[in-house]
Amino acid sequence: MDILTSRQHRTGNDATAGRARRFGRTDGDGTSRRGTSRRRRAALAATALALAVPLTLDAAADAGAAGDHRIVFARYTAAAPVEDLYAISSAGGTPVPLTHTATVSDVMPSWSPDGKRVAFVRYGSGGTIDGIWTMKATGGGLKAVPGTKGASDPAWSPDGKRIAYAKPVGTQREIYVADIDGTPATRLTHTAADDLHPTWSPDGKYLAFNRADASGHSRVMRIRLSTLAQTAVTGAGSHDWTPDWSHGNRIAFSRVDSSGFAHLYLVRPDGTGVHRVTAARANDKNPSWSPDGSRLVFTRGGGDDADPEHLYLVRADGTGLTQLTKTDSHDLEADWR
């Protein structure tokens, strides 16, 4: 099942897909289930995809006032199942829509290092992935990244010149890196497993990502870009997903542990110092570090697919838990600038 095709089944009866969605997991066939799934209501032609344009809202600039840092995320509701991107201040307030397209969904946002643009994945009817796009931080200025049709999980490099992403190769997904204009695209991994959700080290010399095998296990891996040497960060037999590498050189990730729930964990890039950050009877996924590395934003959902999913903030030591979004919505895949 394709990463975004899985989002079609939001109203279906696939219990396995639902469980994986709540945990931010992937299928054994390599498709990320960070997001959720649903049926599409309209067919979409390539022309419509090309012409669909995000809203440009001056109010979005106000959400990122000096001294604050914006968080961008994807949202859908029962009344509006097409996913759009929103921005919110880390201090709270009303989220500001950045995109609003009736027939395509925008998901998996990633800030550029200078905060001027956002990369994201756009897909349409039937879960067909149109590819990775970028837009201005306030919406508008839409540009496609060439050569990324079918790609997911974009991550902007620390120098702003490159983008890493996962892309299908046969039935698996592998990690690629390309210049921001899409060329040249370099395939970094060659395995029978699924490699997903790349995240850059602060110095731009490494990527961490999660590798999912056919048995349903997933572990955090690290790859050195100069040699393509790979090292396991977390152990085999784990259920570790969606890593995010901080400027302070720690990796946050979501782990389905012995409790049966997904919780946030931290680990050093060398695999030492693993410890749990959250412990609620809820599913915590898609952590993203604050710019100073002191806090995390993440999605918390309940044990049922119908439960709302909200954004929360927490300090890296597990204290200071704060609910950021509170509407009856599904707020996902946040990225903090």
Which residue would you say has higher pLDDT here, 160 or 14?
160
Domain harbouring 43, CATH code: 2.120.10.30
Per the structure, the complete domain to which residue 178 belongs is given by 5-336
Structure confidence at residue 107 (pLDDT): 96
Question: How remote is the C-alpha of 75 from its chain's centroid?
Answer: 12
When divided into structural domains, the chain yields a total of 1
Give the tens place of pLDDT for each residue, 101-112: 888 999 999 999
Q: How many residues does the chain have?
A: 337
> Per-residue pLDDT for 31 more than 70?
no
- Lowest model confidence (mean pLDDT) among 115-124, 239-248, 302-311: 302-311
Task: Report the alpha-carbon distance of residue 91 to residue 237 in Å, rounded.
Answer: 38
Which residue would you say has higher pLDDT here, 47 or 224?
224
Which residue would you say has higher pLDDT here, 16 or 105?
105
> Per-residue pLDDT for 93 more than 80?
yes
CB–CB of 239/259 below 8 Å? no
Structure confidence at residue 182 (pLDDT): 85
Task: Report the alpha-carbon distance of residue 266 to residue 234 in Å, rounded.
Answer: 10
Burial of 101 (0-12, 13-18, 19+ CB in 10 A): buried
CB–CB of 34/285 below 8 Å? yes
Average pLDDT over the chain reads 82
Q: How confident is the model at residue 62 (pLDDT cuts 50, 70, 90)?
A: very low
∠ CA 239-245-246 to the nearest 5 degrees? 135
Kindly state the DSSP code that residue 80 receives in the 8-state scheme: -
Structure confidence at residue 305 (pLDDT): 67
CA distances (Å), origin 214, targets 28, 31, 74, 177, 231:
4, 11, 28, 24, 19
Query: What does the pLDDT average to over 166-179?
Result: 95
Task: Report the alpha-carbon distance of residue 102 to residue 12 in Å, rounded.
Answer: 22
Residue % of the chain over a pLDDT of 70: 78
As a dihedral over the C-alpha atoms of residue 101, residue 107, residue 113, residue 117, rounded to 10 degrees, the angle is -10
Q: How confident is the model at residue 81 (pLDDT cuts 50, 70, 90)?
A: confident
Which residue would you say has higher pLDDT here, 114 or 183?
114
> Per-residue pLDDT for 131 more than 50?
yes
Give the tens place of pLDDT for each residue, 286-311: 999 999 999 999 999 977 667 899 99
CB–CB of 218/240 below 8 Å? yes
Query: What does the pLDDT average to over 70-97?
Result: 93
Structure confidence at residue 186 (pLDDT): 96
Structure confidence at residue 68 (pLDDT): 56
CB–CB of 233/19 below 8 Å? no
> Per-residue pLDDT for 126 more than 60?
yes
Amino acid at 143: K
